[in-house]
Amino acid sequence: MIADLDPRTRAVYLVLLVAPLVLLAGLYLYPLSRVLWLSVTVPTPGFGNFERLFTSDAVQRILWTTGKLCVLTTALALLIGYAIAYAAVHLPGWRGELFLFFVLLSFWLSVLVRAFAWLTLLQSRGLVNTALMQLGAIDAPLPLIRNEFGVVLGMVHYMIPYAALPLYANMRGIDPRLVPAARGLGAGPVRAFLRVYLPMSLPGLISAGILTFIFSLGFYVTPALLGGGKTIMIAEYIAVQINDTLNWGLGSMLATTLLLAIFVLLALMAFFVDLRKVFGVK
Amino acid sequence: MTASIVLDRVTKTYGGAPAVDDVSLEIGAGRFVTLLGPSGSGKTTLLMMIAGFVRPTAGRILADGRDITAEPPERRAFGMVFQGYALFPNMTVAENLAFPLTLRGRSKAAIAQDVARMLDIVHLSGLGGRYPRELSGGQQQRVALARALIFNPRVLLLDESLSALDKNLRAGLQEELRDLHARLGTTFVFVTHDQEEALSMSDEIFIVNKGRIVQSGSPKALYDRPRTRFVAGFLGRTNFVDGTVTARDGETLVYSAGGLSFRQRARDDAPAVAVGQPVLIGLRPETLRLGEAAGGAANSVPGTIDLVTYEGADYHVRATTPLGPLQAIVASGNGTPVPARGDRLTLAWGEDAAVVLADDR
C-alpha cells in the first residue's frame, strides 16, 4: 500500500503513523514498564514481592474478596443486563427504545456521582433506612454500605450497561421467528427459550461476561466509596500501598498480577470466542 | 391424521385498527387451501391466529369442532413453515428435524429412522450433517418443510414459503408440495400473494383484502366468475369496461360504452344494476377473438393494435379501441396469423364471455 504512494505522501503517512506510536510508547508503555520493573526491584531485586501472593494473609484475603465480588457482580450484571436487552429487543416500537435509553442514561452519569448517590440512599441515616424506620419496619438502621452488599450493589449498577449493550447487539441478530418456530414444533415457552434462544445468545453472554468481569477486576471508585475501607478490593489496596504506606514493591506487584490475570483470562476466552468480534474490531 | 379448521367471526385489531375484520371461514379436512391477498391484507395475521401465535380480539377458532382459540401453539401441534424458514442455525439439518421428535420424548433409534425417512422424502438424503447456512435456498425450504411434517401434524401451515425462491426452483417445489399433499392427506393452509401459485396449487382459494374474505371458491370458479373489481384485477388479467345500462332483456343486459352497444348475460349472483345506472364489466384477455369481421359474436369493437409482446406460447396484444386500450391473448401455435403493430381488426366476444362486477374501488 504505502509503497505505491509518491515520496511526499509517503512521508506524511509515516509521520501520522509514527507520531501516535511515539506518544503511546512515551506516555503509556514506558511508565507501565517502570511499574512492572518496580515489582521485581523494590525493595530488593528478585521475586520477593511475588512470594507474598502465597504467604501473606492480607494479600490472599484481598485476592479472594476481589475474585468473589467480581464473579458475583458479573453474574448479577449479566442476569439483569440480559433481561434489559431482551426487553429492549422484543418490546414493540418506542417501549424497547425507552429501555435502551435508560441504559444509556446511566452511561452518561459519572461514576462518582453514582457512588455518592448510593451513599446518600444507603447510609445509616440515608433515605432507605430513614424511610424503613419511620414506617416501623426496622428498629435500627440496616448495614447497607461499608460491606460487600453495598460494593456489589454499586458495581452491578455501574456494570449493567456494559452487560446489556453487547447482549443487545447479539440479540438483534437473532431471527425473531426462531422461538415461534420452536413453539410451533411443540416446545413450551421455557423449553423454546432454553433450547433455541439461550444457545443463540451465548456468544453475547460470553462477550458481555468478559467485558464486565475485566472491568470489575480493576474497579476502584465504587468499591472504595461504598466499601468504606472495610470491604477492600485489589485496586483500592494497590492505591493504599502506593499513596499511603509507600510500599511500592507490593503495589506494583499486585498491579502486575492484575494485568497478567486479565491477559490469562483473555487467552482462555480466545479458545471459545473470536476476540476480534468481542471488541468490535471485526 | 388430518383436521378441519373453522374460523367463527374472528377479528384482530392492533391499536384500534382491524387487521382481520369479522372473518368466518371453513377449511375442510385434507384440503389444500390458499389464503391469497396483497401484502397488508391480513392473510398472514389469519394464518398466525390459526397457528396460535396471535390471539384473536374476538371470535373463535375450531379444529375438528373443538375450540382451540385459547390454546398455545405447542398444544395445537400444527406444522408451520415460516417465511424465511426459521431453521435453527445452531443445529444441523438432522438436529433440526429431530427437534420436534425429541420434545415428544421419542427414542433415539425411532428419531434417527424418522429423520432418515423424511430426508429421503424431501430429497435431501446425505445432507443431515450440514448446517442450514451451508444449504441453498431451495434446500433450506425443504428442510423447513420436512421439519414441519416430521411429527405428523394434523394441519400444515405455510407462510409465503416459496416467495423467496427463483422461478424454476419454485415450480419444482410447487409440484413437490402437491405430491406431498396428495400422499399425506394432511390439511394444507398456504398463504401467498402470488396469484399464479394460488391458482395452480389449491383446491380452494380465499381471497383476502383489507382484513376480509372478499371471495372464495375453487381456482376455476374464482378465475371465471370474479364478483368484484378487486378479485378480477388481482387474479389474472382483466380488461375493465365502464358502461351504462340501456335496457334489460330477460337475463341479458344491454349497455353502452364508448358510443357502442353491447350485450352481457347477467347471472343471479351478479350485482343488480338498473337501467340508466353505470355498470362495470370484466373481460378476460384470452376470451377476446381477433379477426377481420365480427363473425357472428354478440359483441364486437373495432381496434388498432399498438403493442404486441411475444411470450412463446402466445402473443399478448394491446389494441386501441373506442372502449380504451384492450388486452388480448392469442395462442401462437395453431397457424394463427401473426398480429402486428398497426393492424386494424375487430375484437369480438360472446355475451357469456365477460362478467358483471361490483365496483369495490
Residues A29 and A60 in one domain: no
Question: For residue A280, what pLDDT is reported?
Answer: 64
The CATH number linked to A140 is: 1.10.3720.10
> Which CATH architecture describes the domain B232-357?
Beta Barrel (2.40)
State the Cα torsion A146-A148-A153-A158 to the nearest 10°.
90
In the numeric block, the cell 525493595 is attached to A43
Residues A2 and A104 in one domain: no
Residues A36 and A58 in one domain: no
B74:A177 CB<8 A: no
CA distance to partner chain B, nearest, from residue A174 (Å): 10
- Report whether the peptide linkage leading into residue A166 is cis, meaning its omega lies within 30 degrees of zero: no
Residue A106's pLDDT band, with cuts at 50, 70 and 90, is: confident
Question: For residue B91, what pLDDT is reported?
Answer: 94
Spans of all domains in chain B = 5-231, 232-357
B310 reaches A (C-beta below 8 A): no
Question: For residue A138, what pLDDT is reported?
Answer: 86
Domain tally for chain A?
2
Residues A4 and A117 in one domain: no
- DSSP 8-state symbol, B337: P
CB atoms within 10 A of CB A101: 11
Residues A114 and A62 in one domain: yes
Parent domain of A86: 50-278
- The CATH number of the structural domain formed by B5-231 is 3.40.50.300
DSSP bridge partners of B319: B305, B326
Q: How far apart (Å, rounded) are the C-alpha atoms in residues A33 and A57?
A: 28
Q: Which residues are CB-contacts of B96 (< 8 A; sequence separation ≥ 6)?
A: B87, B88, B132, B143, B147
Residue pLDDT, tens place only, B116-141: 999 998 889 999 999 999 999 889 99
Residues A19 and A109 in one domain: no
Which residues of chain A does B84 touch, with a Cβ-Cβ cutoff of 8 Å? Answer: 175, 177
pLDDT average, residue stretch B62-80: 93
Residue pLDDT, tens place only, B245-271: 999 888 888 999 988 999 998 877 777
State the Cα torsion B127-B74-B212-A94 to the nearest 10°.
-90
Residues A141 and A211 in one domain: yes
Which of these ranges, A143-157, B25-39, B287-301, has the smallest mean pLDDT?
Answer: B287-301
CA distance to partner chain A, nearest, from residue B63 (Å): 16
Residue A190's pLDDT band, with cuts at 50, 70 and 90, is: very high
Q: Is the pTM of this model over 0.90?
A: no
B131 reaches A (C-beta below 8 A): no
B53 reaches A (C-beta below 8 A): yes
Residue A60's pLDDT band, with cuts at 50, 70 and 90, is: very high
Residue pLDDT, tens place only, A10-43: 889 999 999 999 999 999 999 999 988 888 888 8
Question: For residue A278, what pLDDT is reported?
Answer: 65
Residues A35 and A58 in one domain: no
Residues A36 and A68 in one domain: no
ipTM (interface predicted TM): 0.81
Question: For residue B317, what pLDDT is reported?
Answer: 93
**How big, in percent rounded to 5, are the helix, strand and coil portions of chain B?**
25, 35, 35
